[in-house]
Amino acid sequence: MAQAWRCKGLRWSADGPELAWDGGRRSALTWGKRVAFGVTEGGVRTCVGARGHVCPVRAVVPGRSTGARCEECARLDRAHSVAADTIADDPRPYHVYLAWFGPGMTKVGITALERGSARLLEQGAVCFSWLGVGPLMAARRTEELLRAALRVPDRIPYVDKRAVRSALPRSAAERSAEVEDLHARALTLPGWPESLSRELCQPVDHAGVFGLTDLPTAVGEVTELVAGGVVSGGLVAAAGPDLHLATDVGVIVVDTRLMTGWELVPAGRDGELALPTRGFRRAEAVVQDELF
């Protein structure tokens, strides 16, 4: 019987995307590389635990959960989390950023200064720019200011990001236009926290990093892994947690967060797909409301 591995998801390094595995092993991903795995027959998906600790009961978790945690481990994981607003005394400086994922899809967010642009790669931001830097609570207030005054959301659903990746504007200038416009409008807003230093708009484009140039249109996405399921295909792009794989039925997007918690084994025939999928309903581009 083939050795089984447990995936810890997609990681972004200076050299590009990598699949991380329990035990510290990493698999570098390059365009065209065959990505193939199967789920063990009769297997179940178990909780991945929280904050470096295994789940004490090895709870079974739903196949469609991107967190792969039981209720108790999910609570523990978010108990000391900036993202969950459960801490307010983090002394580290934070960046406020604007991130663009496609036409009408720009969000505001924050990330620790020390993390650099890692958070933007993890989210699949096609283009982004820093907006300011300062203490955590000042960054949070600025984030809320943009949501209230400019109606800039702090979340973009992944299904919307995936649906438009193959139809993005071809030039970097076009891809950065919305970020530049919102950045200029944001700097004119009253009510900026005094402790937050504003930064110049300097858009960073990730289209090349993600392999989105001439990206074939994806026909759909894997909705969950199941026991005995298989996927095998050539890697054509990777963005955020997603892999775009060329299979027998066309390009399929695999959210690597769905791989966690399963025991995975090598797959057989190239191009094979035997997992639940759904097609994309093309997202409508929404022009964000003007301030006045």
pLDDT at position 289 is: 41
Give strand pairing partners of 67. none
Q: Distances in Å between the alpha carbon of 18 and those of 45, 111, 191, 232, 273?
A: 22, 21, 41, 17, 22
pLDDT at position 87 is: 66
**Hey, is 262 helix, strand or coil?**
coil
Q: DSSP for 119-182?
A: HHHHHT-SEEEEEEEE-HHHHHHHHHHHHHHH---S---HHHHHHHGGG--SSHHHHHHHHHHH
Instruction: Indicate the pTM of the whole model.
Output: 0.90
pLDDT at position 85 is: 55
Residue partners of 226: CB distance under 8 A and separation at least 6: 39, 63, 275, 276
pLDDT at position 269 is: 78
From 227, 268, 270, 224, select the one nearest 247 (Cα to Cα). 270
Local mean pLDDT, 10-residue blocks, the chain (292 residues):
86 92 93 94 94 93 95 88 63 96 97 95 97 96 96 94 93 97 96 94 97 93 96 97 96 97 89 92 46 25
Residues 115 and 133: their CA atoms lie apart, in Å, by: 13
